[in-house]
Structure 1
Amino acid sequence: MQWGIFTVGDVTRDPTTGRTPSEAERIQDTVTIAKKVEEVGLDVFATGEHHNPPFVPSSPTTLLGHIAALTERIILSTSTTLITTNDPVKIAEDFSVLQHLSAGRTDVMLGRGNTGPVYPWFGQDIRQALPLSVEHYGLLRRLWREEVVDWEGKLRSPLQGFTLAPRPLDGVPPFVWHASIRTPEVAELAAYYGDGFFANHIFWPSSHTQKMVELYRRRFAHYGHGTPTEAIVGLGGQVFMRRNSQDAVDEFRPYFDSAPVYGHGPSLEEFTSLTPLTVGSPAQVIDKTLGFRDYVGDYQRQLFLIDHAGLPLKTVLEQLDLLGEEVVPVLRKEFAIGRPAEVPAAPTHQSLLRARAANEAATPDATPTEGLTKQ
């Protein structure tokens, strides 16, 4: 199972000091956080994509390419790549380059985003959000898997004789996660192609996440990719820790109360009781995270949000120390207990290479493209 963090890249005033970091400072701090993710032994760093203030990650692959040069082991992912407003040709190119720069330590998480105005900014109609997701992704898959692409759709100009450059590293496209908070059609899209499904999970009660993951697992099996247990699931989560739980609550409360995402709404206590947000001791984070398996089954990736709402860099790095030293080692052991043998590990570039080799050995006449149809 993979453990890591994701960032939304917000530039937010620290309510305890009144200080707001500059955009340059926030970007550099994000790089420092990613390096710390590797240092403390986590597996994944993921960044969102936003095109409006107060967020700075408008070019995720640029940021991840820089981080790739400064790290050696961690998987570099997006926590949202906008499949609706980004052109699929550009997505294919950018992530192929990132694959080569990172030696394959790359995957991609596709989503529709949560900012309505972004659609006209990029020449799209928000009323076409779901059709754009389906059509753009269908083209993206072909661009990564076919040497020459002739394509025609309804929402984009056609392609004739197009060849992607560079091609995916080793001929293996990045693994794709489809991310959603509330949209069952996204779970259906992930299931149809046999891709991963990432339930954002941070704003909704467990019953909603359970329904979304169950839908994805059921439809994954329906489309012939394996049993529901073999489906690839990821979850988001939010934590804030101190060794003493009351210290954590007291320190985090002003950040929660003024956060642009959920401030001025339910109380901290209400939110932690209704959602995966955990504010307390490392032991409390361990207990609550272990409970996720009770309603989604065994899954492959857990990402935590820890650097938002104006929290200073020093505090974020302290959170990473606690995750790496006290929380994740316990969670790795506990999640391994009783994990059925048929539950697959989270895909990596190397595991996808091995799967292709196995497919080609089983069907010697298959072309590389045919061997990747269900990857």
Structure 2
Amino acid sequence: MQFGIFSVGDVTPDPTTGRTPSEHERIAATVAIAQKAEEVGLDVFATGEHHNPPFVPSSPTTLLGYLAGRTERLILSTSTTLITTNDPVKIAEDFSVLQHLSEGRVDIMLGRGNTGPVYPWFGKDIRAAVSLTVENYELLRALWDEPIVDWSGKYRTPLQGFTLAPRPLDDVAPFVWHAAIRTPEIAELAAYYGDGFFANHIFWPASHTERMIALYRQRFAHYGHGTAEQAVVGLGGQVFMRPNSQDAVEEFRPYFDNAPVYGHGPSLEEFTAQTPLTVGSPQEVIDRTLGFRDYVGDYQRQLFLVDHAGLPLKTVLEQLDLLGAEVIPVLRKEFAVGRGDEVPDAPTHASQVAAARSRAGADEDAR
């Protein structure tokens, strides 16, 4: 099982000091956070994609390319690449290059995006978000999988005799996660292609996530990719820790109360009771996270959000120290207990290459 962090890249004032970091400071902090994630033994760093203030990650592939040269082991991903407003040709090219730069340490998480004004900035209509997702992914898949692409659709100009350059590393595309908070059509899309499904498990109650994952698993099996237990699942989560639970609550409360995404609504206590947000001791984070398996089954990737709401870099790095030293080692051990033999490991480039060669060998034997 893989553990890591994801960032939305918000530039938010620190409510305890009133200071807002510059965009340059926020980008530099993100690099430091990713490097720290590798240092403390995490597996994955993922960055979001936003094209509007107060966010800075408008070019995730630029950031990931830089991180590829500054890290050695970390899997570099997105936590979301906008399949709706990006050109699939450019996505295919960028991630093929990233594969080569990182020696395969890259995968991709696709999502629709929920910021309405972004769509017209890129010449798209948010009302067509789901159909754009389906069509653009069909093309993206073809670009990675087929040596010569002839394609036509509704939302972009046709392609005739197009060959992607460079080809994916080892001629195997990056592993694809389809991300959604509330949209069952995305779970269906992931199941249809046999890709991973990432439930961004941060704002909705456990019962909602349970239904979404169950749908994906059922449809994954329906399309013949394996059993429901063999479906590849990832979850998001939000945590804030201190060795003492009450210290964590006291310190995090002003950040929660003023955060643009959930401040000025339910209280911190109400929100932690109703969603997976965990504010407390490392043991409380361990217990809460292990409980996710009770309603989604065994899964492959757990990402935590730790650098949002104006938290200063020093505090974020302290959170990573706690994750690396006290939380992740226990989670690795406990999640392995009782894990079914048929449950697949988390995807890596090496495992994808091995699977592709196995399929090629089976096809050759069949001839």
TM-score by length of 2: 0.99
SS at match of 2:236: strand
SS at match of 2:237: strand
The number of aligned residues is 367
Structure 2 distance, partners of 1:275, 1:126, is 27
Match of 2:255 in 1: 255
Structure 1 distance, partners of 2:97, 2:106, is 10
Structure 1 distance, partners of 2:245, 2:366, is 57
Matched, 1:75 2:75: yes
Match of 1:18 in 2: 18
Within a 5 Å distance, the mapping from 1:189-208 to structure 2 comes to 189-208=189-208
Residues 27-61 of structure 1: CA distance to partner in whole angstroms, max 9, x if unpaired? 00000000000000000000000000000000000
Match of 1:316 in 2: 316
Structure 2 distance, partners of 1:198, 1:231, is 11
Residue 365 of structure 1: how far off its partner (Å): 6.5
Match of 1:211 in 2: 211
Structure 2 distance, partners of 1:92, 1:311, is 34
Within a 5 Å distance, the mapping from 1:265-280 to structure 2 comes to 265-280=265-280
Structure 2 distance, partners of 1:231, 1:147, is 28
Within a 5 Å distance, the mapping from 1:326-345 to structure 2 comes to 326-345=326-345
Match of 1:304 in 2: 304
Inter-CA distance 217–77: structure 2 relative to 1 (3 Å threshold): same
Residues 231-286 of structure 1: CA distance to partner in whole angstroms, max 9, x if unpaired? 00000000000000000000000000000100000000000000000000000000
Residues 146-199 of structure 1: CA distance to partner in whole angstroms, max 9, x if unpaired? 111000111111000111111100100000000000000000000000000000
Amino acid across the alignment from 1:65: G
Residues 118-168 of structure 1: CA distance to partner in whole angstroms, max 9, x if unpaired? 100000011110110000000000000111100011111100011111110
Structure 1 distance, partners of 2:107, 2:362, is 26
Amino acid across the alignment from 2:233: V
SS at match of 1:237: coil
Structure 2 distance, partners of 1:170, 1:47, is 25
Structure 1 distance, partners of 2:142, 2:364, is 22
Gap runs ≥5 in structure 1: 368-375
Match of 1:370 in 2: none
Amino acid across the alignment from 1:251: E
SS at match of 2:364: coil
Within a 5 Å distance, the mapping from 1:152-191 to structure 2 comes to 152-191=152-191
Structure 2 distance, partners of 1:319, 1:126, is 36
Match of 1:220 in 2: 220
Residue 98 of structure 1: how far off its partner (Å): 0.6
Contact 1:9/1:56 (<8 A) preserved? yes
Amino acid across the alignment from 2:171: G
Matched, 1:354 2:333: no
Amino acid across the alignment from 2:269: E
Structure 2 distance, partners of 1:203, 1:98, is 31
Match of 2:86 in 1: 86
Match of 2:116 in 1: 116
Residues 74-93 of structure 1: CA distance to partner in whole angstroms, max 9, x if unpaired? 10000000000000000000
Amino acid across the alignment from 2:362: A
Match of 1:95 in 2: 95
Match of 2:135 in 1: 135
Kindly report structure 1 stretches of 4+ aligned residues shifted beyond 2 Å: none
Structure 1 distance, partners of 2:278, 2:48, is 21
Amino acid across the alignment from 2:29: D
Q: Cα RMSD between the aligned structures?
A: 0.9
Residues 285-332 of structure 1: CA distance to partner in whole angstroms, max 9, x if unpaired? 000000000000000000000000000000000000000000000000
User: Percent sequence identity over matched residues?
Assistant: 80
TM-score by length of 1: 0.97
Structure 2 distance, partners of 1:127, 1:31, is 35
Structure 1 distance, partners of 2:256, 2:24, is 24
Structure 1 distance, partners of 2:317, 2:126, is 38
SS at match of 2:21: coil
Structure 1 distance, partners of 2:83, 2:77, is 15
Structure 2 distance, partners of 1:358, 1:96, is 22
Structure 1 distance, partners of 2:261, 2:334, is 32
Structure 1 distance, partners of 2:17, 2:343, is 47
Gap runs ≥5 in structure 2: none
Structure 2 distance, partners of 1:143, 1:363, is 22
Within a 5 Å distance, the mapping from 1:236-251 to structure 2 comes to 236-251=236-251
Amino acid across the alignment from 1:201: H
Residue 360 of structure 1: how far off its partner (Å): 1.7
SS at match of 1:302: strand
Amino acid across the alignment from 1:271: F
Structure 1 distance, partners of 2:282, 2:114, is 31
